[in-house]
Structure 1
Amino acid sequence: MRLEFPSTNNEAEYEVLLAGLRMAIKLEVKCIKAHADSLLVANQVKGDYEAKDPKMVDYLKKSQELLQSFKKAEVIHIYRGLNKKADALSKLTSVAFDHLAKNVKVETIKRPSILEEVVASLERPQLNWMTPILRYIQEGIVPEDKKEARRLRIRALQYEIIDGGLYRRSYMGPSFKCIDYEEAEYVIR
């Protein structure tokens, strides 16, 4: 990882922890044991140390929020001298990244993770082609226009909700999972 914003050592340690937790969440990991070489970060997350600096408080809150996504989560302090892999990776920051592109993936973080929450709270829920169908099936909400309402009622008969997801019924065989544009891009990739 490479941070493209000014940060203290402790902020950088939290950024690494948060990036690892986000990656584990995307991989649908259920139990995690994170090793941190920062005694301060490890002990703040465990609750042994109190975070006093406002930025550290925000990082701690974000870490605890992500840790709630796991059934079991533990953050352990490991001394840098005992963690040769982390030590070798930390030395990569002193070299140019151009020749590493083929062998080592380097994630660049442009903004602190604690700022994401502000952006996320301002976003509206994403509406897509499935939204009217879901609203009708779950809550019975139809458009005010009578023609559109009738069209939606007829169209909704072809769909069902299974485990919170929208599926199109098929006459012979399994139902088809409905996906939005972003998920479709992922599937195609």
Structure 2
Amino acid sequence: MPARRIKAHVDTLLVANQVKGEYEAKVAKMIQYLKKTKELLQNFDKAEFIHISRSLNKKVDSLSKLASVAFDHLVKNVKVETIKHPSILEEMVAGVEAPEPCWMTPILRYLKEGIVPEDREEARRLRILAL
């Protein structure tokens, strides 16, 4: 749908204020979700987030409670979708560099090139470490 404006009614004051920029996201997972939200909001000309307290929004409150219980006993006409993967799939990877040579250098040399020390005992220890 070519919607250009969005108005979201949310029951979490924290989320509403983080999206508005009034609160800062500090937890890593929340930072990722906020980043993804802001990325998606770039597709809209206008986006508005309105906090609705749970006491004023009985249907949403019921749904949130429903999501936290086991589904085996539910009536068949209640449809429940379980989301298996978060909407943020970005992996954070930090590069690690060690000055050459380090304790890993002989192991890497053995694994990559098959080079072992001339001393038989050293070579045996290296093969065991490389496992």
1:87 and 2:61 equivalent? yes
1:40 and 2:14 equivalent? yes
Give the TM-score normalised by the residue count of structure 2.
Answer: 0.59
Q: Which letter does structure 1 place at the counterpart of 2:30?
A: M
- The DSSP-based 3-state class of the residue aligned with 2:88 is helix
Q: Which residue of 2 aligns with 1:96?
A: 71
State the distance in 2 between where 1:29 and 1:98 align. 38
Q: Which runs of 5+ in 1 are unaligned?
A: 1-26, 119-189
Higher Cα radius of gyration: 2
User: Percent of aligned positions with the same letter in both sequences?
Assistant: 64
1:6-155 matches, cutoff 5 A: 27-93=1-67, 94-96=69-71, 99-101=74-76, 103-115=77-89, 117=90
Cα distance change of structure 1 residues 89 and 59 upon mapping to structure 2, 3 Å threshold: same
State the distance in 2 between where 1:100 and 1:34 align. 29
- Which consecutive aligned stretches of 4+ in structure 1 deviate over 6 angstroms post-superposition? none
- The DSSP-based 3-state class of the residue aligned with 1:113 is coil
Q: How far apart are 1:80 and its partner, in Å? A: 0.6
Give the TM-score normalised by the residue count of structure 1.
Answer: 0.42
Aligned CA RMSD, in angstroms, stands at 2.0
Q: Which residue of 1 aligns with 2:111?
A: none
Cα distance change of structure 1 residues 66 and 100 upon mapping to structure 2, 3 Å threshold: farther
Q: How far apart are 1:97 and its partner, in Å? A: 5.2
Q: Which residue of 1 aligns with 2:123?
A: none
- The DSSP-based 3-state class of the residue aligned with 1:109 is coil
State the distance in 1 between where 2:78 and 2:14 align. 28
Cα distance change of structure 1 residues 97 and 90 upon mapping to structure 2, 3 Å threshold: farther
Q: How far apart are 1:95 and its partner, in Å? A: 4.6
Q: How far apart are 1:81 and its partner, in Å? A: 0.4
Cα distance change of structure 1 residues 96 and 64 upon mapping to structure 2, 3 Å threshold: same
Q: Which residue of 2 aligns with 1:20?
A: none
Q: Which residue of 2 aligns with 1:22?
A: none
More helix by share: 1
Q: How far apart are 1:105 and its partner, in Å? A: 3.1
Q: Which letter does structure 2 place at the counterpart of 1:106?
A: V
Q: How far apart are 1:30 and its partner, in Å? A: 2.4
